[in-house]
């Protein structure tokens, strides 16, 4: 109702003038009484010395031009709520004003959209935020030298801890506290906004944080999300291309344990086998890519200048990928045999033996 919407937006303030009440009603109408947006408005008015009319003026300003592409589904879910996008932009501007352009809270928002829809551990969210690659911009040498001298002071002044950044997100209504301790959860619209704002470069950071900090017991949903991004599923292409060394670590630490646990514990046989099949395809792509690069390297390098140690390491890595592929095939075969697919399992075993 209108009274409930007004209560959400008033935040900590109980009384406003008639002019400010009218501004709140305009904001309510623009948001379409979307509970998420109303809560964020109330949080901003509670946390900052700003009036509803001034907030309305800020929301009426034109959006900065961004290279954002929308598909049909996203148009329906987010583009029709343009005022919510403006409101989220205001929140991120507040975080930037408080902590600077490399604000941990901003980066946590940027990566949240690539995690699974379930609650995210704060430490994993923060690690992904720290993994976002910096945008390199050339500047005068004196500026780089000055930053080197003052980086310690800047870090102590601007950087917040993981807990403080997460608390800021919950205070402004961007994230919600979870029933689990030190976990936060994000609304689907905020996750969509984050994917559009951060782009696919933040997906790489999420995958890295998942395979470094994730576990089957505490974050299996996020392990699956990382697999979707690294391998793709169905008609969705893969978004993240891991380096060969990263891919090997990802397969050993995440993919194989996740597939076995999914098959044995939850009896989701098709999902586990499809994951291992896509994993095999990814290892094939990595192996072919390494062979292609090695061929170009040999064509463009003089033998007297070619570092023998680097070539030996390259060969060793290629061999390790081949052996890992054999292990994946062997695991697929064992699961096939448990499921009664004897012919396919026998064929996979033969392929694994041939590789070894």
Q: Is residue 286 in a domain?
A: yes
Examine residue 67 and state whether it is found in any structural domain, yes or no: no
In a domain? residue 14: no
Which ranges of the chain does DSSP label H, i.e. alpha helix?
2-10, 18-31, 35-47, 52-60, 72-77, 82-99, 104-112, 122-131, 141-158, 162-171, 188-198, 201-213, 216-231, 244-250, 256-266, 269-300, 308-338, 342-355
Distance CA 158, CA 102 (A): 9
pTM recorded for the entire structure: 0.84
Q: Tell me if 183 is assigned to some domain.
A: no
CA 298 to each of CA 35, 120, 257, 293, 317: distance values in angstroms, whole numbers, following the listed order: 61, 46, 38, 9, 17
For residue 350, tell me if it sits in a domain: yes
Domain-located, residue 79: no
Q: How many domains in the chain?
A: 1
- Tell me if 320 is assigned to some domain: yes
Question: Most distant CA pair in the chain: distance in Å?
Answer: 83
pLDDT (tens place) for every residue of the chain, 356 residues total: 778 888 888 866 667 889 999 999 999 999 988 999 999 999 999 988 889 999 999 998 876 645 455 555 665 666 678 889 999 999 999 999 988 888 999 999 999 999 999 999 999 999 999 999 876 544 444 344 334 433 443 443 334 688 999 999 999 999 999 988 899 999 999 999 999 888 888 999 999 999 999 999 999 999 999 999 999 887 788 899 999 999 999 999 999 999 999 999 988 999 999 999 999 999 999 998 888 776 555 544 444 444 544 677 778 888 999 999 999 999 999 999 888 888 888 888 888 888 87
88 within a domain of the structure (yes/no): no
Quote the domain boundaries for residue 247: 242-356
């Amino acid at each position: 109702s209108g009274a409930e919407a007004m209560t959400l937006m008033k935040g900590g303030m109980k009384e406003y003038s008639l002019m400010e009440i009218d501004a709140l009603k305009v904001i309510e109408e623009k948001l379409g009484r979307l509970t998420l947006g109303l809560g964020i408005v109330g949080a901003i008015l509670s946390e900052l010395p700003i009036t509803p009319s001034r907030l309305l003026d800020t929301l009426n300003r034109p959006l900065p031009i961004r290279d954002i592409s929308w598909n049909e589904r996203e148009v329906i879910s987010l583009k029709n709520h343009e005022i919510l996008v403006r409101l989220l932009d205001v929140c991120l501007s507040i975080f930037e004003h408080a902590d600077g352009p490399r604000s941990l809270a901003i980066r946590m928002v940027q990566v949240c959209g690539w995690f699974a829809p379930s609650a995210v551990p704060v430490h994993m969210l923060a690690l992904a935020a720290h993994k976002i690659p910096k945008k390199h911009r050339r500047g005068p040498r004196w500026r780089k030298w000055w930053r080197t001298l003052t980086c310690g002071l800047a870090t102590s002044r601007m950087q917040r801890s993981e807990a403080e950044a997460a608390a800021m997100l919950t205070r402004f209504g961007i994230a919600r506290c979870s029933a689990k301790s030190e976990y936060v959860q994000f609304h689907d619209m905020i996750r969509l906004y984050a994917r559009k704002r951060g782009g696919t470069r933040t997906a790489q950071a999420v995958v890295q944080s998942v395979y470094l900090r994730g576990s089957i017991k505490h974050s299996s949903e996020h392990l699956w999300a990382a697999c979707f991004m690294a391998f793709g599923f169905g008609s969705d292409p893969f978004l993240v291309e891991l380096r060969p060394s990263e891919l090997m670590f990802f397969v050993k630490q995440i993919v194989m344990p996740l597939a076995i646990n999914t098959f044995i514990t939850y009896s989701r046989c098709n999902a586990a086998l499809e994951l291992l099949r896509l994993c095999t395809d990814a290892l094939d792509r990595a192996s072919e890519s390494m062979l292609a690069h090695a061929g170009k390297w040999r064509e463009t390098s003089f033998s007297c200048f070619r570092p023998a140690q680097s070539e030996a390491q390259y060969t060793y890595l290629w061999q390790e990928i081949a052996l890992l592929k054999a292990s994946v095939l062997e695991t697929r075969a064992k699961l096939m045999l448990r499921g009664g697919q004897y012919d396919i399992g026998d064929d996979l075993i033969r392929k694994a033996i041939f590789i070894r």
